Amino acid sequence: MALRRVPWVRLESVVRFRSLFSTRRRGFVAAANDGENGNEGKSGSDQTSAENSADNAVSQFVGRYDKSSAGPSVFSADVESSLSSVLEERKATLQKIVDPTCPPIEKKRKPTSPGQRHIRLIDKSCLYQGEPMPHLTSRLPRTGGRNNSGRITSWHRGGGIKRYYRQIDFNRKMYPDRPGTVERIEYDPNRSGLIALIRYDDMPEWEDEFLKYTLKFVTELPETNEAPRNPCWSKIVPEKIPTEAEIREYQEKENALLALTGQRRKDKLMERHFYYKWHKGKRLLVRQQLARAPYLTEEERYRYILCPQKLKIGQRIISSRTGPVDLVPGNTMPLRYVPIGTVIHNVEFLPGAGGKMCRAAGTSASLLEKKLDQDLALLRMQSKEIRYVRLNCLATIGKVSNPEHRNQVYGKAGVRRLMGWRPHVRGVAMNPIDHPHGGGEGATKGGRPSVTPWGKPCKAGYRTRDKKKDKHPKCMIVKRRPTRLTAHLK
């Protein structure tokens, strides 16, 4: 809805404030002039400096209407109360507008054309306006709704503006137990919700543990870039925990090398844990054990996550699979440690598989119950479906951002074409070979209840799920979501 303009002060308060301000300014100017060595014979620069000093005194005196400024208040009680109330209301209004995780619908545009008359889109002025991180984006190939055989499998798709896919960290397993800072909040054209860029910290206290459990014994690699005949060939011995003697010998060699070359321990640690492997006929340099690495490169420390509501720029977040974390929007932990009644999103179906549920704009789920003996958690989805999920599955605190996405009005067909959607063709407008409703002389109603091109009913909540799945003993769904048919019957 449109926000009304907040008046600064009432008219009588403005009149009294102006008269008071002019009186005070004249007094400061007179005091500054009296402080000089007489008023006669003053130059223009002296007069200007006197006025400047008076203006400085006035600005210090007023203090931007701040009550905490030193000195007694010179305003009357009604003026001061009006100023304070208006400023508080203005501050609350601005805070409501500026929240980047819940951008409002933009105001109505001037109807210079029929397409501009009804269009109402999300106001993205409060989001980051620059380009995404280059190493976190990838090319998104276009299919036009066709599969690898060239057949249309997704109708009404094609065209649109070229997009680049933002690589989102849904499973949050890349950097467990490592705190990060929210750098910015961005718009993602590939999803309805917003995304947040996280910058993770270095962990120097992990140095000894990292050296102990990631020590590898690498044999000599061939200098050629030709791939070996055996695709499973590897010159890397699988990771193992070395003995104390091997650790001591390695640390002595490392300290001697550091003493000779003068390299820092941080640089040495970052160089130590790269190795070569064969991939698709190429010899690649790969880094191992990145999750517990004490130091990260500048590119490695950045990741995109789904942005929850009320997430602030500069906020600290963390994820963990082994213990509880603070109940702050953006933090991730297993359902085992989430309190009952908490609102969550980006929930996993299977432990370690990444979040699959509640990822659209404004969606969330509620934790209803925990069954520790069965290792299950009962969730209530936003669609009113109730289902079980494993307690070891990760979930993120809060709701997904951009809740006003559902209230957008695109206004014209061209906006949808730019999004990659093509026109929908009615079945009654087709030929009988193309659709069950096609054919007939003149305008017809199809001659049967509405069905899909393959003959299945498509209205009144017709169930397409196999009934045997719901009766299976391992079915995790306790209560199915209601449909239009069941809601009408109730």
Residues contacting 90, CB < 8 A, separation 6+: 6, 8
Confidence grade of residue 266 (pLDDT, cut at 50, 70, 90): low
Q: What is the mean pLDDT of the chain?
A: 76
Task: Give the span between the Cα atoms of 364 and 341, in whole angstroms.
Answer: 12
The confidence score (pLDDT) of residue 53 equals 54
The confidence score (pLDDT) of residue 324 equals 93
Task: Select from 15, 34, 293 the least CA-distant residue to 177.
Answer: 293
Confidence grade of residue 433 (pLDDT, cut at 50, 70, 90): very high
CA 221 to chain centre: 42
Residues 207 and 383: beta-carbon distance below 8 Å: no
The confidence score (pLDDT) of residue 95 equals 52
Q: Is it the case that residue 274 has pLDDT exceeding 60?
A: no
The confidence score (pLDDT) of residue 220 equals 37
More confident residue, 85 or 449: 449
- Per DSSP bridges, beta strands 180-186 and 164-166 are unpaired
Confidence grade of residue 206 (pLDDT, cut at 50, 70, 90): confident
* pLDDT tens readout for residues 210-264: 666 554 433 334 444 444 443 333 333 334 455 667 666 766 766 665 565 554 5
The confidence score (pLDDT) of residue 472 equals 79
Q: Is it the case that residue 334 has pLDDT exceeding 70?
A: yes
- Per DSSP bridges, beta strands 180-186 and 376-381 are unpaired
- Where helices occur in 145-206 by DSSP H, the ranges are none
Instruction: Give the percent of the chain with pLDDT over 90.
Output: 45
Residues 394 and 355: beta-carbon distance below 8 Å: yes
**Single-letter residue type at 142:** R
Q: Is it the case that residue 282 has pLDDT exceeding 60?
A: no
Q: Is it the case that residue 42 has pLDDT exceeding 90?
A: no
Give 358: exposed, middle or buried? Use CB within 10 Å, 0-12, 13-18, 19+.
buried
Residues contacting 452, CB < 8 A, separation 6+: 458
Between the CA of residue 278 and those of 88, 218, 283, 395, 420, what are the distances in Å? 63, 14, 5, 35, 38
Q: How many residues does the chain have?
A: 490
Q: Is it the case that residue 306 has pLDDT exceeding 90?
A: yes
More confident residue, 291 or 15: 291
The confidence score (pLDDT) of residue 67 equals 42
Q: Is it the case that residue 385 has pLDDT exceeding 70?
A: yes
Instruction: Give the percent of the chain with pLDDT over 70.
Output: 64
More confident residue, 458 or 97: 458
Residues contacting 323, CB < 8 A, separation 6+: 333, 337
- Least confidently predicted of 172-176, 234-238, 392-396, 431-435: 234-238
Give 394: exposed, middle or buried? Use CB within 10 Å, 0-12, 13-18, 19+.
buried
The confidence score (pLDDT) of residue 37 equals 44
Q: Is it the case that residue 279 has pLDDT exceeding 60?
A: no
* pLDDT tens readout for residues 409-429: 999 999 999 999 999 999 999
- Per DSSP bridges, beta strands 195-200 and 302-306 are antiparallel
